[in-house]
Amino acid sequence: MDATQPTIVEEKIVKYNGEVQVRKYQKGKFLGKGGFAKCYEFQNQETKAIQAAKVVEKASLTKSRAKQKLMSEIKIHRSVHHQHVVKFEHFFEDAENVYILLELCHNQSLNELLRRRKRLHELEVQCYALQIISALKYLHSHRIIHRDLKLGNLFLNDKMEIKLGDFGLATKLDFDGEKKRTICGTPNYIAPEVLEGKAGHSYEVDIWSLGVIIYTLIIGKPPFETSDVKTTYSKIRKNLYEFPQHVIISDGARDLITKILIGDPKMRPNLDEIIAHEFFNNGGTIPKTLPQSFLACPPSAQYIRQYMPQGFNFTSQAKGLPQRLESTAPANPIQGNRAGVQTAGGTSQGTNRQYQTAQNNVMAATDRGGVFKRNLDSQGALTKDTQINKPTSPSDKGSTQRIMKDQSLTGPSCWVKKWVDYSSKYGLGYLLSNQATGVFFNDSTKIIIDPNGHTFYYYERKAVSTSEKQDVMQTYNLTDYPKDLQKKVTLLQHFRSYLENNKEQPSPTDDLLSQKKLPASQEPPVYVKKWMRTKHAIMFRLSNKIVQVNFQDHTEILLNSESRLVTYVNKKGERQTLPLNHALESNNAEMTKRLKYTKDILTHMLNNNNNNNNKMTTASSNAGLSMGGTGSVAGGTNGASQIGASSRMGTITTAVSSKRSAAGTGMGGVDTGMPQSVTGRTGSSSNVNLLSSDRRPLNVLNQVQ
């Protein structure tokens, strides 16, 4: 068979008069694999409509039980019609397979979403949970129990609507009081009465799974998860789970989860009681759907405030901690730029802590003109502008620092994960942590393609006034864009396949690369605005205001000038995010040295621009792009390129391979070997005036000595 030819699957339809009609589908992209089915995009050759096709090999249906399961899935799924249930289109078979055609959900499942995002904001959880409840209400009212409710079966379509799929374990009761006895489900989500088996189970198993889902989305991992199924089942039976200390969860969410995850199914709230619960009724409004950008990035504080002007109510910490944790802040919680977390005689185990309620900070912030822009991050954890009070005594210091770590301040949501420096010919290609690929061309234009590979954004610097130039963006589709961009688009695609193929050790986010890509987001994506190489490092300035410096010894600094947070990745790849002033006060000389170096690079960039724009070496005028020496790009005229990867992924490659050991020694020792004045090459345009907003990273580093 010719591998280049598309695979066509034929459906033979026998009409009432015996005539055979053939409907053709072109088999497209592989969408995923389940326990017994593979899923592909199928395009109807006549209507051009694209659907998801679950392909089940007939060879796998030899056991009557498997056949029965498939028949039951088809029977139940085709009978349900609801906005939040994956639409069943139809099914057919040929000699080898059974094909189930379903509504295509472009945005994968909540499983992939959580893998990308780690945890969701409670507002997002409210929004998704209400849609799931709506689907469950419909199913239960039709006496259908889904029995396999889990993140992987909750899909998102292109409108970001939840679609419940996979009816492989669903069952329809003959009458309401009927109990089912089949032990089925997915370990992490299975209700205790299913495991127990004797008394049978009913609709309450879906409620239990809903509780597991809400917990998982907020906390980031399922409540009963362990490394082996037996232990998981034992924990489910004994109802052993806890709310981890490092994630702050609202009182409403905690209460709802606790009420749902109750061993006795009769004691669980029903769907109406869940909707009426405080978690969904805490004074704000809940969006019907969420923007696509939330697939990769958390909602902004501004977005949250739109729906939750008064914030969530956070008064207590995890199980095992004092139930009521009073605010320890002064009457006016805002003093300068400090408020937030204080220790109250923290023990060495750090268990006896008190936190000011996060909500207080949010309210104070909004009341006082938004001094604290984001006290809650997308996970509801204290973060961003939340400052940690200075310790009052040396003994407090230890516990304060531990709290900072435990609070797990989140670093930037998007950063450069890998890059390839081919500025000897074309420019710098890079792969971001959200899987978007971009190129900073030598002529200072930039291009970035959405992870789905359909939409791309092209940035050109244009004069917006006599003295000011700005990046002006155009959005195009890969199938329709101006001819003069053809070369750049081709280069982008080369960079993209190079960066995606150059994977080393898999990392949690790497596996996303091999999966279905994200859809085009509604907001323009993050891109590299400037970059620069120096003797010891490469620096990227991202459009999300992050300055990222990757050092040759695999350490990394990520500076968020808006929130004044620094993320430091040490040589072992360990990552820590902390407020800048704490970073400076810390005893971590390695980190402070690198902050100083970052400051020097920024100063250098700024001086170059302010003094004489033409002095600034540009990517276009310096094809070799090497100034620093050790860290210089291989090549120049020979067009060789170098590839690098972010150390946080544990995949540093050979960005600076030739001189790595030398640099490593220099950085690791007492003498950093860093130059006093930084010279480097840059990918910013020569005539760019680094306007005031660009001063911010430098301004926040003012205190660095």
> Residue 31 or residue 247: which is nearer to ligand ATP going by CB?
31
Instruction: Name which of 49 and 463 has its Cβ closer to ligand ATP.
Output: 49
Residue 350 near residue 397, CB atoms below 8 Å: no
Q: Where are the alpha helices (DSSP H) in 95-179?
A: 110-117, 122-141
How is residue 214 written in tokens? 């809400």
Q: How far is the CA of 686 from the CAs of 125, 378, 572, 612, in angstroms?
A: 46, 37, 37, 9
Residue ranges in contact with ligand ATP by CB under 6 A: 31-37, 39, 52, 54, 86, 102-105, 152, 155, 165-166, 168
**Shortest distance in whole angstroms from residue 103 CB to ligand ATP:** 6
- Residue 107 is encoded by which pair of tokens? 């945005």
Instruction: Please state the three-class secondary structure of 449-516 as a single string.
Output: ECCCCCEEEEEEEEECCCCCEEEEEEEEECCECCHHHHHHHHHHHHHHHHHHHCCCCCCCCHHHHHCC
**Residue among 93 and 272 whose Cβ is closer to ligand ATP:** 93
Between residues 146 and 446, which has the closer beta carbon with respect to ligand ATP?
Answer: 146
Q: Which residues pair with 473 in a beta bridge?
A: 459
576: phi > 0 → left, psi -120 to 50 → alpha, else beta; which? Answer: beta
Taking the complex as a whole, how short is the minimal distance between the CB of residue 166 and ligand ATP, in angstroms?
4
Residues 6+ apart with CB under 8 A from 425: 442, 623, 639
Q: Please identify, using beta-carbon distances, which residue of 35 and 320 lies nearer to ligand ATP.
A: 35
Place of tokens 């069943």: 88
* Catalytic-role residue among 2, 148, 480, 553: 148
Spatial distance between the Cα atoms of 432 and 645, rounded to a whole number of angstroms: 10
- Rounded to an integer, what distance in angstroms lies between the CA atom of residue 127 and that of residue 294? 12
Q: Which residue is nearest to ligand ATP (CB)?
A: 34
CA torsion through residues 424, 427, 432, 438, sign: negative
DSSP label at 234?
H
Is 148 known to be catalytic? yes
Only one residue has tokens 């993209």, namely 496
Write the single-letter amino acid at 281: N
Closest separation between CB of residue 58 and ligand ATP, Å? Answer: 15
Nearer of residues 167 and 430 to ligand ATP, judged by Cβ: 167
Parallel, antiparallel, or unpaired: how do β-strands 387-388 and 171-172 relate?
unpaired
Shortest Å distance, C-beta 152 to ligand ATP: 6
CB of 86 vs ligand ATP, minimal distance in Å:
5
**DSSP one-letter code for 202:** -
User: Cα(first)–Cα(last) distance of the chain, in Å?
Assistant: 68
| CA nearest neighbour of 416 among 268, 284, 264, 529 | 529
Nearer to ligand ATP by Cβ, of 24 and 33: the residue is 33
Min dist. Cβ of residue 111 to ligand ATP (A): 8
Q: Which is nearer to ligand ATP, 85 or 334 (CB)?
A: 85
State the minimum distance, in angstroms, from the CB of residue 107 to ligand ATP.
9
Q: How far is the CB of 96 from ligand ATP (least distance, A)?
A: 16
Task: Tell me the CA distances in angstroms from 591 to 335, 397, 466, 596, 630, one per residue in order.
Answer: 28, 18, 41, 9, 21
| Residues marked as catalytic | 148
